[in-house]
Amino acid sequence: MSMNAENRNAETSYAACPQYEAALEDQFEGELRGPEAVQLAEHLKSCAGCRAALEDAAAGARLLAIAEPSPDPGAGFSRIVMARIRQQLQTNEGKSIWRPVVSVAWRFAASAAFALVMLVSFDLGRQSQWRSDQSIVAENRVPEIAPDRPSLPANRDEVILMMADTSHGKQ
């Protein structure tokens, strides 16, 4: 580790020049070319902070190299995912946007059917009650005591006869 880096160790401060940070990253990755590379090389000659930062980047990368990337989830993973997708699609089919409407419609139909049954049974009950009332009335009907109402006289003779008949009791 260089002297500059050692000095920085004590302070633990970051000393790279902000305007060169992107170029330093490119330089670290080995991707800096052309005039930018020349310019950075010139700058590095005179800037201890940037040199130390570049050394830090390399040391940090070495440290990170001991980490292992995530393992491959395996050949069966895609099958598991596809199974989950199919399952989800089936569940979604059951949960179509019309389902609440259909549910309400079924409830409405059931209520209407129930109301209809109630109405019909009430009507039938009323009708049978009326019939039984009628039969009772018919059975208990008393023959009329009063004579039939006399019909109107058709001609003069009948009027005279009627008058003679009605005044008969008085004389």
Partner 1 sequence: MAATASTLSLPVSRREKGEEERQLVRLAQSGEEAAFEELIRRHQQRVFGLVSGILRRREDVEDVVQQVFLKVFVSLKRFDQRAAFSTWLYKISVNECWDYLRKKKVRPLVYEADLSEEQVSRLDGVVSADQPPASSSDRAEARDLLERMMEKLPEQDRELLVLKEVEGFSVQELAEILDLNVNTVKVRLFRARARLMDVYRRRLHSKPAGPAEGKEG
d(CA 2, CA 50) in angstroms, rounded, equals 12
Figure out which of the listed residues 2, 39, 78, 132 binds partner 1, where binding follows CB under 8 A.
Answer: 78
Tokens encoding 147: 């004579």
CB 129 within 8 A of CB 120: no
Tokens encoding 24: 């330093």
> In whole angstroms, how close is the CB of 37 to partner 1 at the nearest point?
15
Q: Classify 27 as helix, strand or coil.
A: helix
Site for partner 1 in 1-30 (CB under 8 A): 1, 9-10, 12, 14, 16, 18, 21-22, 24-26, 28-29
d(CA 110, CA 120) in angstroms, rounded, equals 15
Site for partner 1 in 107-126 (CB under 8 A): none
Stretch binding partner 1 (CB under 8 A), from 83-91, 115-123, 139-147, 160-168:
83-91
x/- contact string, 47-76, with partner 1 (CB under 8 A)? ------x--xx-xxxxxxxxxxxxxxx-x-
Could you say whether residue 34 binds partner 1 (CB under 8 A)? no
Other CB atoms within 10 Å distance of the CB of residue 45: 9
Q: For 12-73, where are the alpha helices, taking DSSP H only? A: 21-29, 34-46, 48-64
Q: Which residues bind partner 1 (CB under 8 A)?
A: 1, 9-10, 12, 14, 16, 18, 21-22, 24-26, 28-29, 53, 56-57, 59-73, 75, 77-82, 84-85, 88
